Amino acid sequence: MNTLYRHKLLFGTGLLILLGGVTYGCHDFLNTAAQGTLGAVSLTTKVGVEGSLLATYRVLDCTNSTNSNWGCAASNWVWGSVTSDDAYKGSEATDQPGATDIELYNWTTGSGEDYLDNKWSAIYEGIVRANGTLRLLARVRQQLPNEISAADARSIAGEALFLRAHFHFEGMQMWGSIPYFADENDTLDFRKPNAGVNDTIAILKDLDSAFVLLPATPRNGEKGRVTRWTAKAYKGKVLAFQKDWAGVVRVLDSVVASGVYGLETSFDHVWTGFQQFADGPETILAYQASANDGEPDGNNANYGERLNFPHSGSPFGCCGFHQPSQNLVNFYVVDPVTGLPKSLTDPTWNARNTVFKASINDTLDPRVDWTVGRDSVPFKDWGLHLPTWIRAPGYGGPYSPKKNIHEKASGAQSKVGWAPAQLNSVHIHIYRYADLLLMLAEANVELNNLAAATTLVNQIRTRAGVTAQGCGDGANAADTILTKKYPTCAGDSRLAVPINDASIKWATYKVGLYPTFPDLATGRTAVRTERRLELGMEGERFFDLRRWGTAQQVITDYLLVEKTRRSYLAAATPFTARYNLYPIPSLQIELSKVGATSTLTQNPGW
């Protein structure tokens, strides 16, 4: 494979790039010489510049310099999923109390602040590395003008600018006004104020510059690298955050018209360990998780997701975090006649409290079984999901996450590291084409272009109706549990099958298409519903609720019911307006002091 992180530059083992491999806010790193790192002379080469850029990509997920906990995960499962109605923290009560505090909206406790500080540090680590790359590139171009070709120099600069924009956007999405370092020659001082900062001008400027500099296809044929179309697609996302709907349509229509991206033909090709589907047409930006690449601890793999596997009774052994909520599973129930989400028409859609075990009497959207592991349903090609796979069902519920899990036949599992069965090379989608189409549909609804919005949503639903979870492991003679439960699975190792395939005995699947939305309210509800169905457990939900201004009502309603299912949620702090932004970590506010005065301004209510 010629994938970006297959290079033998193992930054997970402590090789940090000068001017790019330090953690923002921990100490006055700007005036401290890096210890045990390469010097400026040895880095002033093309190899040094490429290594610095690679180190910047690496910060898309947890690195050894920031991974004191899992707040740095590329998927934002802590910040976008566990804080929403999609998922519980999972596992058991005493494990990762910081994540528990985040789920219970106790965001200023010591352990909760540790998670927040981890995210803050990771974001500024990325920004520092991006700016370090740009400065190093300029130095090499000046001192060794023939070292890097003009074309490569343009692309390197474009990639670094894009990554700088991404990390700033992540910070803005979390905290609103943050310190911006959108000039690589800016004084990198963690005492820079955030009050009154315009949140998007610098981000959009970097994305526009990146679009001009970047090639139309990945440099060196390495698909993990961003291109001008990545930059343009990301611009549409930023404009949606601004609610510039006309801008979203203008930008994203051009991305669609380019034909660069497309939906995968089958949902199981989106989140997968099979290399033939990695970086497929749906991938816009992903963390290029890499297992078995020479890194001795497996830290270039899916470190940020490694807790999120079924527990000890499963083939993975640990750790049972990020468990889907009952609310989310209920959301996948569809009307047996129309095949449309029941949540649209039935006020009692969330009344079911019993476990959704395998049953042909349940009519479901097939995406539920690509998203959620549930009892007696094949779990990719690992056999049946069983109750023994759940660490503490009375605490975290009966379901397991599924999208981040590799297939047994994929060869994506790590051979090294602590609990290697939890490490894999499944690429972590940060932005994918289905997300783009649904943002474009949302913009069209807000502009009252209802026919266009309906067509876009139906594209997503049409793909959803192509395949469902198949037997997966039926060809494995040793798997008697599966074949005894479903004799027709004997000899059937198909992972994905048509949704009406005769082998399916664990659900009745149906996906209907919408007639043209009759009004804006109907279209808005349908698009928002589709985003949850399509992007469930991908770390998007909470940020969507905030963006729509519905977070307070949705989370309040969710907790009212969900605390009767998971008793620990009764201790959750009521969701109020202050939760529209995460609190800036108090450690960072303390570090920003000049004399006795903090230059960082805390968010309202905190």
Concatenate the DSSP letters of all residues of 30-91 into one string: GGSPPTTS--HHHHSSHHHHHHHHHHHHHTTS--TTTTTSGGG-TT-IIIIIITTTSEEEES
State the DSSP code for 257.
H
Distance between CA 192 and CA 223 in Å, rounded?
A: 36
- The number of beta carbons lying within 10 Å of the beta carbon of residue 71 is 27
pLDDT digit string, tens, across residues 453-480: 999 999 999 999 999 999 998 777 667 8
Strand 597-598 relative to strand 593-594, pairing: antiparallel
pLDDT of residue 412: 97
Residue 486 clears pLDDT 70, i.e. is over it: yes
State the DSSP code for 594.
E
pLDDT digit string, tens, across residues 133-187: 999 999 999 999 999 999 999 999 999 999 999 999 999 999 999 999 999 998 7
Q: How confident is the model at residue 5 (pLDDT cuts 50, 70, 90)?
A: very low
Residue 117's H or E segment, with its range, is helix 110-143
Q: How confident is the model at residue 13 (pLDDT cuts 50, 70, 90)?
A: very low
As a whole number, the mean pLDDT across the chain is 92
Minimum mean pLDDT range among 33-37, 206-210, 358-362? 33-37
Name the pTM for this structure: 0.93
**Encoded tokens for 553:** 């009502």
Distance between CA 155 and CA 243 in Å, rounded?
A: 30
Minimum mean pLDDT range among 250-264, 439-453, 456-470, 471-485? 471-485
CATH architecture of 4-226+582-598: Alpha Horseshoe (1.25)
Q: Which residue type does 79 have?
A: W
Q: Examine residue 471 and say whether the peptide bond preceding it is cis (omega within 30 degrees of 0).
A: no
**Encoded tokens for 363:** 């009519």
Distance between CA 304 and CA 63 in Å, rounded?
A: 9
Residue 335 clears pLDDT 50, i.e. is over it: yes
Q: How confident is the model at residue 188 (pLDDT cuts 50, 70, 90)?
A: confident
**Encoded tokens for 316:** 């993975």
Residue 468's H or E segment, with its range, is strand 467-469
Of 543, 554, 533, 85, nearest in space to 324 by CA? 85
pLDDT of residue 11: 29
Residue 235 clears pLDDT 60, i.e. is over it: yes
Of 323, 339, 343, nearest in space to 331 by CA? 343
Domain locations along the chain: 4-226+582-598, 309-400+466-510
H helices, E strands: number in the chain:
18, 12
pLDDT of residue 20: 37
